[in-house]
Homo-oligomer: A and B are copies of this chain.
Amino acid sequence: MDDRKPRLLTGDRPTGPLHLGHLVGTLQSRVKLQDSHECFIIVADLHSLTTRSRRDEIARLPNHVRDVVLDMLSVGVDPSRSTIYLQSGVPAVYDIAILLQMLTPVARLSGLQSIQDMAVNAGLGDADVPLGLLGYPVLQAADILMANAELVPVGADNETHVTLARDIAEHFNDAYGRVFAVPQPTVSATPSLPGVNTVAGGAERKMSKSAGNAIWLKDTPEEVARKIRTLPGPAPGESDGAPLFRFAEAFLRDADELANLKAEYDRGAIGFAAVQDRVIEALEKILVPIRERRAEFAADKHRTEEIIVDGTITARKVAYETLGKVRDAMGLENLWSGLVHATQSRAEERKKPFYHQKS
């Protein structure tokens, strides 16, 4: 028994900067989990290739990677406690993924709603879905299992993938001997945040990178205020569930204050502009320290890159160690090392003086 903290794997695709939806959905809990867990935080650029493999899309990765890591650092991910790494920079993960593909039935993958949704969102017709997208959950399993992660906080859309990683781990451990920690998904209970630029009476859309309705973590106070003021007020008495009040619920930390605000609004004592003001004020309390940390990291030249490189080197060591165990358990290492040892002993034999040589 060692007394290290249990390991956790989580992360993001580098498809652009992060927004308030990420903050309440995953980032806040990620920061807290650093106290109880050793965190591996993947910047999943290979995952982004499953739906964005064009040259111009890959050319945007350097900026996106820097953005997403700076966002993580600004919210309080601590590089002295968490390993932030670039997925494509860990060669052993490719090996593990290929080997796990040998053990994973296509039938477990082809019915997954998550993959179908990803294909639709990426505008891929049935004829265009790449093998990499079908195999995405196995690549994700390789990420999780290489790190021996026991806990994997995910959104509801990825829960089935962690379940698959768990099943692969259990199957592997049964078939070849225990190598992998068996990961457990933890699905975020946080409701998603609505987008801004809402039209009164229009269909509500979840805040997302692609929908043009996000408040970015790097937005200035002016941008944040302007975007919050696009949230219309519901009819008095109908504050429950209205986008503006969903923001209030997410960011007003005092339950009594929130209840009062809703009551005042519902009885017509205050208008929606006052609620917007209160949300902006609450948001700024959270965003000011985030902006300060961002400014510090951004001013420390190349510090973000150094954090990624250092983390990737750490992840490489862990991944090679796991790959060694995988190859050992399957019997592939025995195959290769048998050849190498025979070759070495031949070389040694041939270096011996003539009178020691046999035959």
Give Cα A342–Cα B132 distance, bound, in whole angstroms.
30
Cross-chain contact A175 with B101 (CB below 8 angstroms)? no
CB contacts (< 8 Å) of A338 on chain B: these are: 62, 305
Any B CB within 8 A of the CB of A217: no
Note all chain B residues with C-beta closer than 8 A to A131: 101-102, 104-106, 109, 134-135, 138
Q: B98 contacts A342, CB within 8 Å?
A: no
Report yes or no: B331 in contact with A55, Cβ–Cβ below 8 A: yes
Cα separation A42 to B89 with both chains bound (whole Å): 27
Q: Are A59 and B331 in contact, with the CB atoms below 8 A?
A: yes
| Segment of A122-130, A234-242, A254-262 engaged in the interface with chain B | A122-130
Contact call A335/B128, Cβ cutoff below 8 A = no
Question: Which residues from 208 to 259 on chain A have a C-beta closer than 8 Å to any C-beta of chain B?
Answer: none
Q: How far is the CA of A91 from the CA of B345 in the complex (A)?
A: 24
Known: A58-B330, A331-B55. A305 touches B343 (CB 8 A): yes
B308-A339 in contact (CB<8A): yes
Contact between B97 and A55, CB atoms less than 8 A apart: no
Chain B residues contacting A130 (CB-CB under 8 Å) are 101-106
A267 at the interface (CB under 8 A from B): no
Given A102-B130, A339-B308, does the pair A334, B109 have CB atoms closer than 8 Å? Answer: no
Closest B residue by C-beta to A304: B342
B104–A336 CB distance below 8 A: no
A residues engaging B (CB < 8 A)?
A: 45-46, 49-50, 53-55, 58-59, 61-62, 65, 86, 88-89, 91, 94-95, 97-99, 101-107, 109, 126-135, 138-139, 175-176, 301-303, 305-306, 308-310, 312, 330-332, 334-336, 338-340, 342-343, 345-347, 349
Give 4 closest A-B pairs by Cβ, nearest first. A305-B342, A102-B132, A302-B346, A58-B331
